[in-house]
Amino acid sequence: MASVTTYDGAKIFYKESGTGPPVVFSHGWPLHADVWDAHMALVASHGFHAVAHDRRGHGRSTQTWRGNDLNTYADDLAQVIEALGLREVTLVGHSAGGSEIARYVGRHGTSRVARVVLLGSVSPQVRRTEANPLGLAPSVLDTVRESMRTRRSGFFQALTRTFFGANRPGHTVTSQEREAYWLMSMALGTKGASEGVESLFGADLTEDLRRVDVPTLVLHGDEDQIAPLEATGRRSASLVPGAALRVYPGAPHAFAGMRSYREPLGRDLLGFLRS
């Protein structure tokens, strides 16, 4: 398997397809790079070099005892980009992947970045605070950690209902799409799962987003129950100078993993890559 060894010895698995301008995909928690397979195939078939990695602790990357935090995730991404010699990169991040690429820009700048896509991103902040009254209550984190400790498989299965809006009438997610997400979730190590979600939950990416000085597209569903549009997508778009916001009516958090949204999402992504 292809991997990049980080400064602390972790091996970060990555996969790539196609040739041309690079597009680097960052997955959400608790998934891994395979969630991007359809999108990688799409951009690779249209003249782009698609790259996706498994975040440390996830999928086929090292399940490290330390470094399961947003700063390290961003530094790992930087090392993958540098090791592969990528420049003029379009960064595409879903959910926690959006936070990862925002923190990457905050720590490493945009010297290698041409464009940014935030897709159902949990940025700028998930946790409810005085400045973020629409965020999730702090008690949610305790519930998530306890559920992962006591009923990990069942928790991840239940999470797919909220991810895909399967708890809402008229949803279009299939059982196979939900099962694929559950299988990917089960490849996440327990320590990485707990520490990673804690770091992501507590992060404030306001200043990181303000540092994004390249064309940015924010894609978000207005039925996102994990990262509600008003608390995340719309706020992220307002923080990035000149960012464009595209709202998908009725779309849940994981709409990128649904066949019913593949065509409009692919059209918007390719249009932005070619702009």
Look at the block and give the residue holding tokens 């949204």: 261
Q: How far is CA 9 from CA 62, 73, 100, in A?
A: 9, 14, 20
Burial, 12: exposed, middle or buried (Cβ in 10 Å; 0-12, 13-18, 19+)? buried
With beta carbons less than 8 A apart as the criterion, state whether 177 and 164 touch. yes
Task: Give the DSSP H or E segment for 147.
Answer: helix 139-150
Which of 150, 106, 116, 111 lies closest to 25 in space, CA to CA? 116
Of 134, 120, 129, 70, the C-alpha closest to 92 is 120
Q: Encoding tokens for residue 6?
A: 């980080």
* Phi and psi, residue 14, nearest 5°: -145, 160
- For residues 122 and 14, give the distance between their C-alpha atoms in angstroms, rounded to a whole number: 23
Q: What is the DSSP string of 15-28?
A: EEE--SSEEEEEPP
Q: Is 253 a catalytic residue?
A: yes
Q: Which one of 95, 99, 123, 236 is the catalytic residue?
A: 95
User: Are the C-beta atoms of 82 and 16 separated by less than 8 Å?
Assistant: no
Q: Is 142 a catalytic residue?
A: no
DSSP letter for 257, please: G
Q: How far apart are CA 20 and CA 208, in angstroms?
A: 28
* Eight-state DSSP code of residue 33: G
- Is the preceding peptide bond at 169 cis, omega within 30 degrees of 0? no
The answer to whether 95 is a known catalytic residue is yes
Catalytic residues: 95, 224, 253
